[in-house]
């Protein structure tokens, strides 16, 4: 179980998260929806051990994965995928080399040829699965599209044999057709590999397509949660009521690409 218990985060006198609790089943996809500034990224960064007290953040409460406390340091069983695929890779090396970097850091060693060959076979298999030509591994990020880079970012997370993925707006920076393809691929990873995910997003259509349950975050507090069908039918929180209204009244009622494929 991925659990957050009574989590509050402050910076100076400002409260960013206020007594947030949520429970996500390990093999399910759980969504966290909130407007800009509601505290989504703060929660995401804290779960990855990226919110240092030395930067002025004070927090109390618990984040745990299968009983193991998170929040002070990065746990390799939990792998992140970030919103901006261009920002996720260095411009100074080819993708094939960059994909091996987290493994080198994790094992704190230079990989020998046998290890590199083994990892390259895994990378080749994953490229095949994501329909990424292996020739792209010789390219730098400047030579790839946003969709290709985001697939490589997901592939890099999977190479670490994670038990759970944390995704921060994984499709927001992509065009709608690529969004749909990546949403489908993430669903397939969840179903075939039984890999659970927590997805942070402001996109109700995307989350309702992807998730088994959704939590609503408003101004640092969870105001509602449930399965997408129930939430869309009877939204209780102000944010969800606004989003459902906007969805029904924008562009003549056209739904987002991810939602329409549901």
Q: Which residues are at the interface with ligand ATP (CB under 6 A)? A: 11, 14, 16, 34, 36-42, 202
Question: DSSP letter at 190?
Answer: H
Using alpha carbons, list the distances in angstroms from residue 142 to 94, 167, 245. Answer: 10, 23, 40
Q: Which is nearer to ligand ATP, 16 or 171 (CB)?
A: 16
Work out how close the CB of 60 gets to ligand ATP at its nearest, in angstroms, rounded to a whole number: 17
Nearer to ligand ATP, 100 or 215 (CB): 215
Query: Is the CB of 99 or the CB of 174 nearer to ligand ATP?
Result: 174
Whole-number Å distance between alpha carbons of 40 and 45: 9
Q: Is the backbone of residue 77 left (phi > 0), alpha (psi -120 to 50) or beta?
A: alpha
Q: Which is nearer to ligand ATP, 46 or 182 (CB)?
A: 46
Instruction: Give 14 or 229: the residue with its C-beta nearer to ligand ATP.
Output: 14
Q: How far is the CB of 252 from ligand ATP (least distance, A)?
A: 27
Shortest distance in whole angstroms from residue 63 CB to ligand ATP = 15
3-class DSSP assignment, residue 189: helix
């Amino acid at each position: 179980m991925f659990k957050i218990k009574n989590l509050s985060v402050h910076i100076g006198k400002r409260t960013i998260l206020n007594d947030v609790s949520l429970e996500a089943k390990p093999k399910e996809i759980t969504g966290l929806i909130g407007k800009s500034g509601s505290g989504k990224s703060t929660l995401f960064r804290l779960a990855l051990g990226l919110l240092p007290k030395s930067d002025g953040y004070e927090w109390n409460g618990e984040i745990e994965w299968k009983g193991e406390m998170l929040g002070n340091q990065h746990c390799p069983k939990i792998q992140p995928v970030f919103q901006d695929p261009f920002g996720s890779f260095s411009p100074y090396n080819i993708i094939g080399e960059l994909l091996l970097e987290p493994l080198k850091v994790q094992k704190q060693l230079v990989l020998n040829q046998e290890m590199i060959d083994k990892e390259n076979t895994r990378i080749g298999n994953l490229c095949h699965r994501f329909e990424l030509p292996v020739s792209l591994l010789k390219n730098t990020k400047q030579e790839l599209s946003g969709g290709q880079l985001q697939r490589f970012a997901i592939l890099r997370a999977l190479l670490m044999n994670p038990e759970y993925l944390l995704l921060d707006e994984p499709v927001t920076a992509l065009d709608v057709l690529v969004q749909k393809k990546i949403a489908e691929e993430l669903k397939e990873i969840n179903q075939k590999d039984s890999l659970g995910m927590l997805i942070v997003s402001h996109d109700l259509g995307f989350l309702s397509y992807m998730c088994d349950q959704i939590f609503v975050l408003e101004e640092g507090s969870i105001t509602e949660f449930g399965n997408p069908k129930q939430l869309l039918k009877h939204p209780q929180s102000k944010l969800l009521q606004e989003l459902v209204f906007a969805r029904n009244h924008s562009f003549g009622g056209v739904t987002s690409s991810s939602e329409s494929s549901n």
